[in-house]
Structure 1
Amino acid sequence: MNVPWQQRLQATAISRLWRILSRLSPTTLWRLSVALVNVAYPLLKRERAVTRLNLEVVYPDLTEARRATLGRESLKHSTATMLELGFAWQGDPDRVADSIVEVHGRELLDDARAEGKGVIILAPHFGNWEVLNFWLSSHFPFTAMYEPPKLAPLDPIIRAGRERCGASLVPTNPRGVAALLKALKRSEAVGILPDQEPSWGSGVFAPFFERPAYTATLLPKLVSRTNARVVTGVALRRPGRGFALYFLAADERVYDEDETISCSGVNASIEAVIALDPAQYQWEYKRYTKTLEEQRGDPDFRRYRLYSSRNMK
């Protein structure tokens, strides 16, 4: 396949930047993130607007000033996650391992596997999920879904980074779902991102901070066909120290046969880890794009959208 030279040039520049950043410590990368956001904050109009709307929905009782502070801190953490990609994918493995200074709840994984059960890790966009992937694939047979980047030349670089400790990446299609099922039946661990809005037909509406959010039904489908346990996992950033891994038992509703109830449990599980440090969740993601009104075919559904041009001002 012929790749346009512009894409090759862009991919080369990004790859070299990752290589440079991989040599820096998490403490230095955090300080760099803070400096970048402080300088570029006025220019981040789209990110600021989406973050503001999301925080108004999920924390209506906070003052506007408190939400503004929380939103700014969230952008610092999201920037840090991007700068830490080189560290997680290409940094010396011993340095990455040493940056993980705490692990809480590992017994949830060990106990499930000791009982011959697979483990589904719900890994939301919180803290640094690439550091979480590094640790999981270093300690367990681990399979995760992977969607190639739009910039095709980066694909082998990202794959190498995510697979370097033994992770198995599978496509986001029925073949990938089949691979996840096989891994679970082998009593292995699999990881899924539970807070991405799926395409129509692949989800149900379930409450996320009390507002209906279109939520993927992959988790209930995996649970219904296996005897797997479900655990929420995150790598929480400890600025100046490194990362603390937290594994929490998922909300019991995830095991319900009703997909809507199960997805309500998924979202409640995400809410529980967000409570560890709300600033470390990626609030600039448009989690509430789809609406019940659009699903029902309401011709006036656009006026119910959270991220309308009116609200984004």
Structure 2
Amino acid sequence: MTQEAPPSRKRVSRASAIAWLWKSLSHWPIARLWRFAALLGPLVYYFSKRERQITNINLGVVYPNATKSERNALAKQSLKHSAATMLELGHAWMAAPEKVQASILSVHGRDKLDSARAEGRGVIVLAPHFGNWEVLNFWLSSHFPFTAMYEPPKIADLESVTRHGRERMGASLVPTNPRGVAALLKALKRSEAIGILPDQEPAWGSGVFAPFFGREAYTATLLPKLVARTQARVVTGVALRVPGKGFEIHFLDADERVYSADDVISATGVNASVEASIALEPAQYQWEYKRYRKVIEEQQGLANANDFRLY
């Protein structure tokens, strides 16, 4: 009987295979990556039950007036874009910098960052899971002193790959703990830019419930604390995918409520800012994330809890 390989060897082997795949894909042109994603997306939709179900549940909440066929079509497009994001990681992290820069077709709203820094203010960039946020990180860290919080990947042996990819243009990654928050504050006080993921559920005690597309979602309260201590400007940043061609960077003014000292009002502004970015092209948002998980756990505001039995 063949002896099973030690778990650590399995992880290393899997990590090595993934890193090799990203490196190989980093040589592909953007058009070919999109064609591959167009082939892979339907397979994800039909064979990845979890992603399909969670995406459809979320779209049912967000677009209740859409028909089932309309939501299914949007779900298929969304999972195609999610597949493209995964395939493009090698491009964002490992391709020659000039190749990545060439794939950024245009930048809209850069003046919002430049003017804030000219006034001696830092900039907080809300970067939701939309389009290709790794390309956004590449651009930001190429043009500004940039700091962002970082959590190691689930596959620990991939940490060196992901960390190097995100830091290679000068970004500073800090942990998601009080030491990391202190680093963000220092960066803002130096009139630098920082990045925050506004659409991930924080740990209990680090957020409040605020509406996201009309349903309560547990939302982090880090932002008002950073704004209150630094008077930073807040913008939403996304790298919108232009299928087969590249990316357009967009910086949008955040909803004015983000500047409130009230945690719930600020969190409502954060979610409204994410909604505004999604409106650019809903299919490019990562709908397979369980955004409403904690409110379901709390059973708050659920008119029909059975709709969420798959969460």
The answer to whether residue 308 in structure 2 is matched with residue 294 in structure 1 is no
Residue 308 of structure 1 corresponds to 309
Residue 173 of structure 2 corresponds to 169
Task: Report the Cα distance in structure 1 between the residues aligned to 2:92 and 2:274, rounded to whole angstroms.
Answer: 23
Q: What is the TM-score of this pair, normalised by structure 1?
A: 0.94
Amino acid corresponding to residue 111 of structure 1 in structure 2: S
Residue 154 of structure 2 corresponds to 150
1:64 Cα deviation after fit: 1.2
1:307 Cα deviation after fit: 3.0
Unaligned runs of 5+ in 2: 1-5
CA contact (8 A) 2:41 2:81 kept: no
Q: Deviations over 1:115-166 (max 9, x none)?
A: 0000000000000000000000000000000001121111111111100000
Structure 2 counterpart SS, 1:120: strand
Q: What is the TM-score of this pair, normalised by structure 2?
A: 0.95
Amino acid corresponding to residue 58 of structure 1 in structure 2: V
Task: Report the Cα distance in structure 1 between the residues aligned to 2:158 and 2:296, rounded to whole angstroms.
Answer: 37
1:293 Cα deviation after fit: 7.0
Unaligned runs of 5+ in 1: none
Report sequence identity in percent.
Answer: 66
Structure 1 counterpart SS, 2:78: helix
What is the 5 A alignment of 1:250-269? 250-269=254-273
Structure 2 counterpart SS, 1:235: strand
Task: Report the Cα distance in structure 2 between the residues aligned to 1:257 and 1:138, rounded to whole angstroms.
Answer: 32
What is the 5 A alignment of 1:102-121? 102-121=106-125
1:30 Cα deviation after fit: 0.9
Residue 186 of structure 1 corresponds to 190
Q: Deviations over 1:94-119 (max 9, x none)?
A: 00000000110000000000000000
Counterpart of 2:100 (choices 96, 103, 106) is 96
User: Which is worse superposed, 37-46 or 282-291?
Assistant: 37-46
1:243 Cα deviation after fit: 0.1
Residue 86 of structure 2 corresponds to 82
Q: Deviations over 1:154-192 (max 9, x none)?
A: 111111110000000000000000000000000000001
Residue 26 of structure 2 corresponds to 22
What is the 5 A alignment of 1:224-243? 224-243=228-247
The answer to whether residue 43 in structure 2 is matched with residue 31 in structure 1 is no
CA contact (8 A) 1:289 1:305 kept: no
Residue 56 of structure 1 corresponds to 60
Task: Report the Cα distance in structure 2 between the residues aligned to 1:51 and 1:231, rounded to whole angstroms.
Answer: 27
1:292 Cα deviation after fit: 7.1
Counterpart of 1:274 (choices 275, 278, 281) is 278
Amino acid corresponding to residue 279 of structure 1 in structure 2: A
Residue 140 of structure 1 corresponds to 144
1:73 Cα deviation after fit: 0.1
1:262/1:66 Cα in 2 relative to 1: closer, same or farther (>3 Å)? Answer: same
Task: Report the Cα distance in structure 2 between the residues aligned to 1:256 and 1:126, rounded to whole angstroms.
Answer: 25
Amino acid corresponding to residue 260 of structure 2 in structure 1: D
Amino acid corresponding to residue 53 of structure 1 in structure 2: I
The size of the alignment, in residue pairs, is 306
Structure 2 counterpart SS, 1:212: strand
Query: Which segments of structure 1 move beyond 4 Å, counting only runs of 4 or more?
Result: none
1:185/1:134 Cα in 2 relative to 1: closer, same or farther (>3 Å)? Answer: same
Structure 2 counterpart SS, 1:290: helix
Residue 3 of structure 2 corresponds to none
CA contact (8 A) 2:33 2:244 kept: no
CA contact (8 A) 2:140 2:146 kept: yes
Structure 2 counterpart SS, 1:231: strand
CA contact (8 A) 1:119 1:230 kept: yes
1:36 Cα deviation after fit: 1.0
Structure 2 counterpart SS, 1:54: helix
CA contact (8 A) 2:278 2:284 kept: yes
1:305 Cα deviation after fit: 6.8
Structure 2 counterpart SS, 1:4: helix
1:38 Cα deviation after fit: 2.5
CA contact (8 A) 1:291 1:305 kept: no
